[in-house]
Structure 1
Amino acid sequence: MEGNTNTNTNKEIGVEWRINMGDGTSRVLEAESRFGLQRFVSKVGGFFQRAWRLGVNEPKKSIHCVKVGLALCLVSLFYYMRPLYDGVGGNAMWAVMTVVVVFEYTVGATLCKCVNRATGTFLAGALGVGVHWVASQSGERFEPIILQVSVFLLATAATFSRFIPSIKARFDYGAMIFILTFSLISVSGYRVEKLFEMAHHRLSTIAIGTSICIITTILFCPVWAGTELHNLIRNNMDKLSDSLDGPILPAEAKAGEAVTLVEVVPLVTVSSLLIEIAARTEKLAGAVNGVAEKAEFEVETAEEAKRGQSSKGGN
């Protein structure tokens, strides 16, 4: 009877698995549900909590998301309104794509991308129309050959320019847009009769998209990179000053004696300087030994030194 009672008690209570934490406490390991539904729901809830904290702590990022949505709504009017759609034709999608890929968090980054996209599209369109005219004048037989050679040469040169540090830092996006636009115009121009009109429509739609991005990012809660950098430096300096003013308790201090970090900084500075001096002294000694070996200096023994001194005294 007593054994049955203990067995029933264990079945009712169940076995608990505990995990020892770093702070000395223990936590019960909860068993996962059969299909992992509870775990999935907890992860989704944790994700939304982190997203909410991000939006509360940094409201400018939430405003940036609203600005992107507003710019897309404005550029979509070229599809919904018939007069605007008739003005740009079926290439209105290029304006939507421009807003998606060009809109950035800061005003400067958006302007840089807009200039890169407009410049790359204009240069590629002009070269594409010029190459197509040259190829069409050379005859139907040599036209595809000239187009393929031009695409190969210009795409290769533009791709190589993206590896140059000065161009990669400022015009990497423009070089990529140049390759894309020139390839599209050169390839599609072989079957399209009104190539100049198509290039004109695409350039105008890209100009519309970049203009909407610039107007939206400047007029509605603009974010300037210089101001953001200034605020970031100020916040970091405030945190550093708080940490310097805060009391610490080193291992050598007695119980109840608080030592500020300002008092420890000179000792740490002197220690780092001594370590640096010792390291440089070792390097200097090694260099002197190397020079001595290359010059084949002979080490004078004690006996030879005594003989030399005696000979000098006799003279």
Structure 2
Amino acid sequence: MNGKKGSNIEISINIPSSMAKQLDQAGKKSSNGGGGFSFKAWGLKVWEFAKEDSNRVKFSLKVGLAVLLVSLLILFRAPYEVFGTNIIWSILTVAIMFEYTVGATFNRGLNRALGSLLAGILAIGVAQIALSSGHVAEPIIIGISIFIIGTITSFMKLWPSLVPYEYGFRVVLFTYCLIVVSGYRISMGNPMRTAMDRLYSIAIGGFVAVLVNVLVCPIWAGEQLHKELVNSFDSVAASLEECVGKYLEDDGSEHPEFSKTVMDEFPDEPAYRKCRSTLNSSAKLEALAVSAKWEPPHGRFRHFFYPWSEYVKVAAVLRYCAYEVMALHGVLHSEIQAPYNLRITFQSEIREATSQAAELVRSLGQDISSMKRSAINSLLKKVHSSTERLQRAIDVHSYLLTCTCEPPDTTNFSKPLPRLSQTLTNTFSDLPNQLADLDSSNSLETNSSQQLNPSTPQQMESNYHELMRKQSRRLHYSWPPLQVDAFEEEGSAGDFLPRMKALESTAALSLATFTSLLIEFVARLDHLVEAVDELSKLAKF
């Protein structure tokens, strides 16, 4: 403004490489016409959506059929002359009342029927009082009654024990208001006829909705709940095997980006996504259980008062086990990882415990699917025995999980340590042989010089510790990812080794965390077996 030229300001924005790649791909798609609407792509999505669950197509066709049947009452002159414009309420009833499952339709229909009946009775009573009070007081009484009914119904539907009947209170409110107001303006003093015609129309619509939903390709909520629970068992078992398999096979060569880990984008782990959906299915299963209670005996569920609530309890215990699988998955994708050589040292014990636990979970799901009881106790004993072997292996070789490499037993050095069943690397495969050689050489030296040199056991112990330290230094730790020079630059040389030992011990303890979570999963299977056994007794498998 004072004759001075404005200074040029340069702003530089650094875009991460991963985001730059995504922007480039998005630009290529938009340049190739990917941003436009494609009928072929839309048709494929619709086809996949319908193919995923054929009941969706059946439900849509049934709703169309029910609405068509009710609309015939308007298209033909005879029914329309009887009910007049109130017959439209039957169409509204079908559209509102028709639900995905038979049980939900019965539940919605009962709420609709009771709400409409109560609203009709209240409307007739208030209308008679208003008519007898004169033309001046009539609109005042109707307005006050609408305010009172709206306040009471809105408050009652928030009551915890009345939440399942929330739709019924809404029906009472809008049915009462429509009957009273329209009766005052349209019927001109004849609310009784208006209320009765609309109740008849609602009854016709409800009857058509229930009849079509039950007789034409019925979708039972009980069957849906049964299938969902069985699929949840399979998802948890598959996710457990997938997680443990990747943990033992991952040598650290490929790690996902941090953004993908945070956003839970694991395209190579389909079982994990199914297990995650199992954790989020509690509301769906509870809704199906509530709907199933309204259904009559059908299919394999042929006796009254079927224990649908037990399905919800079993699903809750199964989610209790699935939380451990998700925790195992968290260790699998954590930043601190145990070295690959250390993980495969306990490979056979971990795989055995995992396979036995997954087999038990699948067997429980199969028992529910077939509605038959099998010998679960024998499988449970196998799971316990395999888990005990894993615990024993971790306890005996716990020195591998610490930086000090203390031996498990320092009182008897001539007795070799129990070996793990299988190792796949030179780092740990030659350890038992070296220990045996050390024990044999030390035993010979002890026999020859036991009387001359009384300090031989102390020397043997020091030799043992030295060998353990040499073996531990040969391990390749995957964390921390910093170079040795970085640690030397930060601190003195005397402080470097203790810090590295602490970091190595932290990385090795990641394996202890993984195995403890696996053992906890097995411990929770006892509760799952009890829940399934209780369900089988009440459902009379």
Query: TM-score over 0.5 for the alignment?
Result: yes
Q: CA deviation at 1:148?
A: 1.4
Whichever residue aligns with residue 184 of structure 1, its letter is: L
Match of 1:124 in 2: 119
Partner of 1:167: 162
* 2:150 aligned partner: 155
Q: 5+ unaligned residues in a row in structure 1: which ranges?
A: 1-18, 275-315
Amino acid at match of 2:196: H
- Shift of residue 249, structure 1, vs aligned partner: 4.0
SS at match of 1:190: helix
Cα distance in structure 2, aligned partners of 1:61 and 1:81: 31
Instruction: State the match for 2:237 in structure 1.
Output: 241
- Of 216, 219, 233 in structure 2, the residue corresponding to residue 220 of structure 1 is 216
Deviation at 1:154, TM superposition (A): 1.5
CA deviation vs aligned residue, 1:37-66 (integer Å, no higher than 9, x gap):
652224x54443222111112001111011
Report how many residues are paired. Answer: 250
Partner of 1:11: none
What is the Cα deviation at residue 132 of structure 1? 0.9
How far apart in 2 are the matches of 1:198 and 1:60? 39
Q: Structure 2 CA distance, aligned partners of 1:261 and 1:162?
A: 52
The separation in 2 between residues aligned to 1:133 and 1:29, in whole angstroms, is 70
- The answer to whether the 8 A contact 1:245-1:262 is kept is no
1:187 Cα deviation after fit: 1.8
1:54-85 superposed Cα distances (whole Å, 9 cap, x missing partner): 11120011110111111111111101112222
- Confirm or deny that 1:202 pairs with 2:198: yes
SS in structure 2 of the partner of residue 105 of structure 1? coil
Could you tell me which of 148, 171, 175 is aligned with 1:177? 171
Whole-angstrom distance in 1 between the partners of 2:66 and 2:218: 14
1:153–1:21 distance in 2 versus 1, CA, 3 Å: closer
Cross-structure match for 2:367: none
Following superposition, the deviation at residue 194 of structure 1 comes to: 2.5
What's the RMSD between the two structures over aligned residues? 3.1
Sequence identity, in percent? 33
Q: Distance in 1 between matches of 2:19 and 2:239?
A: 28
1:41 is paired with a residue whose SS is coil
- 1:239 to partner: Cα distance: 2.7
Q: Once structures 1 and 2 are overlaid, which stretch shifts more, 262-271 or 194-203?
A: 262-271
Alignment equivalent of 1:59, drawn from 54, 57, 61: 54
Kept after mapping to 2: 8 A contact 1:244/1:262? no
Indicate which of 124, 129, 137 corresponds to 1:134. Answer: 129
Match of 1:94 among 69, 89, 96: 89
2:108 corresponds, among 113, 118, 132, to 113
Q: Distance in 2 between matches of 1:262 and 1:65?
A: 48
Cα distance, 1:135 vs structure 2: 1.4
Alpha-carbon distance in structure 1 between the residues aligned to 2:27 and 2:174: 55
Deviations 1:94-144 (CA, angstroms, capped at 9, x unpaired): 111111111110111111111111111111111111111111112222222
- Contact 1:128 1:182 survives alignment (8 Å): yes
Cα distance, 1:153 vs structure 2: 1.1
Q: 1:186 aligns with which of 177, 180, 183?
A: 180
Residue in 2 that maps onto 1:85: 80
* Residues in 1 aligned to 2:169 and 2:225: alpha-carbon distance in whole angstroms: 28
Corresponding position of 1:49: 44
How far apart in 2 are the matches of 1:88 and 1:262? 72
Question: How far apart in 2 are the matches of 1:159 and 1:244?
Answer: 47
Asked if 2 retains the 8 angstrom alpha-carbon contact of 1:68 and 1:103, the reply is yes
What does residue 9 of structure 1 align with? none
Provide the rounded CA distance (Å) in 2 between the counterparts of 1:196 and 1:237. Answer: 56
Deviations for 1:227-278, whole angstroms, at most 9, x for unmatched residues?
10110111222233334445334354459x676655468564635999xxxx
CA contact (8 A) 2:180 2:191 kept: no
Q: Distance in 1 between matches of 2:140 and 2:19?
A: 71
Q: Cα gap change, 1:22/1:51 in structure 2, threshold over 3 Å: closer, same or farther?
A: farther
Q: Is the 8 A contact 1:248 1:261 kept in 2?
A: no
Offset at residue 206 of structure 1 (A) = 0.5
Q: Distance in 2 between matches of 1:123 and 1:222?
A: 30
- Distance (Å, rounded) in 2 between the aligned partners of 1:22 and 1:230: 47
Unpaired segments of 5 or more residues in structure 2?
Answer: 1-16, 252-338, 358-386, 388-511, 521-541
Equivalent residues in 2 for 1:265-280, closer than 5 Å: 268=514, 270=516
Alignment CA distance shift 1:248-1:261 (3 Å):
farther
SS at match of 1:207: helix
1:124, 1:179 within 8 Å by CA — same for their partners in 2?
yes
**Offset at 1:22?**
11
Within 2, Cα distance between the matches of 1:27 and 1:147?
A: 64
